[in-house]
Amino acid sequence: MHSLYSHTKIVLFSLLFSSYMSAFDAANMDQNFEITWGNSHAHMINNNIDQVISLSLDKASGSSFGSKNQYLFGKVDMQLKLVHGNSAGTVTSYYLHSEGLTWDEIDFEFLGNVSGDPYVVHNNIYTQGKGNREQQFYLWFDPTTNFHNYSILWNPQCIIFFVDGIPIREFKNHESTSGISFPSKKPMRVYGSIWDAEDWATKGGLVKTNWTEAPFTASFKNFNANACVWSYAASSCTSNSSSSSVGEWITQGLGAIGEEKMKWVHRNYMIYNYCTDMKRFPNGLPPECTISVTKESKFNTNK
């Protein structure tokens, strides 16, 4: 990892003064991804409009896919349609993950529920193999009837999670001033998965999976990446675009309008914030929670 660290400044310089990667062709999911496990439960579905990856879960297995490329900073988008009906015990995931024992990870996890109850959107951020930075939200729509867009912005300043373009969470980089770990040196792949988490996902594991309703199926489409594609051989980023504009994501933050939108989400739909969970952290909240400018600490919304 020493070479990654030493090349970080070079990577950022090249991003700011070269073109950013163009959006992938959304119809070609098979060109961007490969099945990583549960082969018989994962399918590429082609139609006249787009290409969909369908992942299913039954008593025997779940399934997953991963991107062929690795990225070091960028903005990635994916449209998901979640498991319909009684999805209790299931988790559908869309996330970034690096390699190694001390991995970095940026998570969207969708916790299923019994029919009629809302899904829970679970976010977490791992650095050097350590997470414990969970936030949870309800959605303001039914995520099982149509596809909705979920985005992760990851740049040297911050990580922002978006749902249909609305920011729901920001995690700022305070590593240089406060020593708080931030994922900035390890390239990550994009993954999607569905798996059995009945021991914790629904009401702390009280509600179990009803396997008579299996297979449970989630669908993914329209992957889009404005991102730096990492090459270990060159220890640098590459681009396949000749766009004249610099990628806005490299310096993007919330801005005033984005901050107001996020406050609206937190007031109305946040159901858990690790930064207000004094019972979980009786010896003191994680250090980022005490930094006044960190959005994590502004909303005392545990219910």
Tell me how many helices (H) and strands (E) the chain has: 4, 16
- Please enumerate in sequence order all residues whose Cβ is within 8 A of that of 206, keeping only pairs 6 or more positions apart, or say none: none
Question: Is the Cβ–Cβ distance between 276 and 133 less than 8 Å?
Answer: no
Amino acid at the residue 46: N
List helix spans (H) across 131-254. Answer: 175-178
Query: Alpha-carbon distance 297 to 274, whole Å?
Result: 9
The set of catalytic residues is 105, 109
The 10 Å Cβ neighbour count of residue 41 is 21
Closest CA to 52 of 261, 213, 218, 250: 218
